[in-house]
Amino acid sequence: MHEYSIVQALIALVEAEAAERGATKVHALRVGLGELAGVEPSLLSTAFETFRERTICAGADLNLRRIPAQWSCPRCALEILRGAPLQCSGCGGPARLVQGDELVLESIDLEVN
C-alpha cells in the first residue's frame, strides 16, 4: 500500500513548511488528487489518520479535491471527450493526458504565533 509512503512524505513536507514559517499547528491540508494518480482516496485518508498522530498535523483535516482525467490533442488542442477513442477527431493525432494523474499539495492552513 503506497498510500502510507505518500502520507509520510506529505507530512514531512508539511512539517518542513510549518517550521520555515514558525507555525505551531496545522489545521487543514488540501490535496489535489487525479483520478489516474494510482492513489485510492479512502486509503490515503486512512493512512493520514494513522500517521498524523504525534506530528504537527495531529489535529489537521485532510481535504481531497478530485481531479478528473482530461485529454486533448497536442497538435490542434482539441479536447478529447471522456469515453471517446484517444485519438483526435479533427486531425487524427494521438491524445495526450492534460490532467488527472497528479497528486499535489495545494494548500496548508497553518497557525503561526
Per-residue pLDDT averaged across 89-97, rounded? 93
Kindly give the pairing relationship between strand 61-67 and strand 23-34. parallel
CA torsion 95→100→102→108, rounded to 10°? 150
Reported as a single tens digit per residue, the pLDDT across 28-84 is: 999 999 999 999 999 999 999 999 999 999 999 999 999 999 999 999 999 999 999
pLDDT confidence of residue 99: 97
As a whole number of angstroms, the distance between CA 64 and CA 13 comes to 17
Per-residue pLDDT averaged across 5-23, rounded? 96
Per-residue pLDDT band at 113 (split at 50, 70, 90): confident
**Structural domains present in the chain:** 3-68+100-112 (3.30.2320.50)
